[in-house]
């Protein structure tokens, strides 16, 4: 599988993690019909510009998905308008570790610029992108969660499974598509996972962070903002994480 440009800046340990990430190309979900129902509710809530209902539907969808994979749950927050105080617009983020006892996914309903409600498919892709970060840690047991070709394939495989055909149809006339799809970055999908670590965020265009534990590494700073996470990620040691499976749930994974 093609390596993204930042691969050559990774050290041996990081490359090993990256390579592991690349090997899993899809995650299969059993019994997806109820997830289609959740996705449909999500589309309706988003279309109605109803933040509370969007959050409820998003949480339900993610709960159902993780339950099927026997992975610890994650809390989902849907906020109104994307923050603007950043160089790149934030679409979603995944946080876990540090003082945070439960993993949290945050997604935004509206673009910062025009304040339009994010298109359904963009929104769902962003949500699932963050879910894949969670799965990287809690299911694949990766030490870090990089944006690799395998990562994007996993995210897309989830998207294809949870989205009813009628909602997948039609042109993809979305705004910025999704977080790491690259709001305007030269190599949007090439940067290291930004939010990859606990207590970190997923910035749009993968702000080149994510080399957790080495916040001072130049590559880490490539995305602009300072990285503040330093908590060793294996927060998986927390009580909640004990519910997570010891080993990756191999039956759900497709390896390349
Ligand atoms: Zn990401």
Output the DSSP codes for 167-180.
Answer: HH-S----SS--HH
pLDDT grade for 253, boundaries at 50, 70 and 90: confident
- CA distances 201 to 13, 155, 175, Å, are 22, 17, 21
Residue 148 Cα to ligand 1 middle (Å): 10
In a domain, 40, yes or no: yes
Give, as residue ranges, everything with CB less than 5 Å from ion ligand 1.
180, 202
In tens, the pLDDT along 196-225 reads: 333 344 543 333 333 333 222 211 122 222
Domain that holds residue 178: 5-221
In a domain, 245, yes or no: no
Helix (H) or strand (E) segment spanning residue 14:
helix 12-23
Section 71-77 average pLDDT: 96
Residue 177 Cα to ligand 1 middle (Å): 13
In a domain, 229, yes or no: no
* Greatest extent of the chain over all pairs of C-alpha atoms, in Å: 48
Residue 170 Cα to ligand 1 middle (Å): 25
In a domain, 253, yes or no: no
Q: How large a percentage of the chain has pLDDT more than 90? A: 53
In a domain, 233, yes or no: no
Section 51-60 average pLDDT: 97
Residue 203 Cα to ligand 1 middle (Å): 7
Say how many domains are in the chain.
1
Among 126, 91, 99, 85, residue whose Cα is nearest residue 225: 85
Residue 204 Cα to ligand 1 middle (Å): 8
In a domain, 227, yes or no: no
In a domain, 228, yes or no: no
Residue 94 Cα to ligand 1 middle (Å): 8
């Amino acid at each position: 599988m093609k390596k993204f440009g930042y691969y050559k800046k990774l050290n041996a340990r990081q490359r090993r993690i990256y390579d592991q990430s690349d090997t899993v190309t899809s995650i299969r979900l059993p019994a997806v019909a109820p997830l289609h129902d959740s996705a449909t509710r999500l589309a309706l809530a988003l279309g109605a510009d109803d933040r509370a209902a969007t959050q409820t539907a998003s949480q339900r969808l993610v709960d159902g998905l993780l339950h099927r994979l026997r992975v610890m749950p994650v809390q989902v927050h849907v906020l109104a308008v994307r923050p603007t105080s950043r160089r790149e617009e934030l679409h979603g983020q995944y946080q876990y570790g540090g003082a945070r006892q439960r993993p949290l996914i945050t997604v935004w309903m509206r673009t910062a610029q025009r304040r339009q409600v994010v298109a359904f498919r963009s929104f769902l892709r962003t949500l699932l992108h963050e879910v894949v970060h969670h799965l990287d840690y809690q299911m694949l047991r990766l030490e870090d969660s990089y944006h690799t070709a395998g990562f994007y394939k996993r995210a897309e495989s989830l998207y294809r499974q949870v989205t009813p055909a009628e909602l997948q149809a039609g042109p993809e006339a979305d705004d910025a598509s999704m977080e790491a799809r690259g709001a305007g970055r030269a190599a949007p999908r090439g940067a290291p996972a930004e939010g990859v670590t606990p207590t970190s965020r997923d910035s749009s265009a993968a702000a080149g962070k994510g080399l957790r534990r080495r916040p001072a590494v130049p590559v880490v700073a490539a995305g602009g903002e300072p990285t503040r996470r330093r908590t060793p990620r294996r927060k998986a040691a927390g009580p909640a994480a004990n519910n997570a499976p010891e080993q990756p749930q191999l039956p759900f994974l497709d390896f390349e």
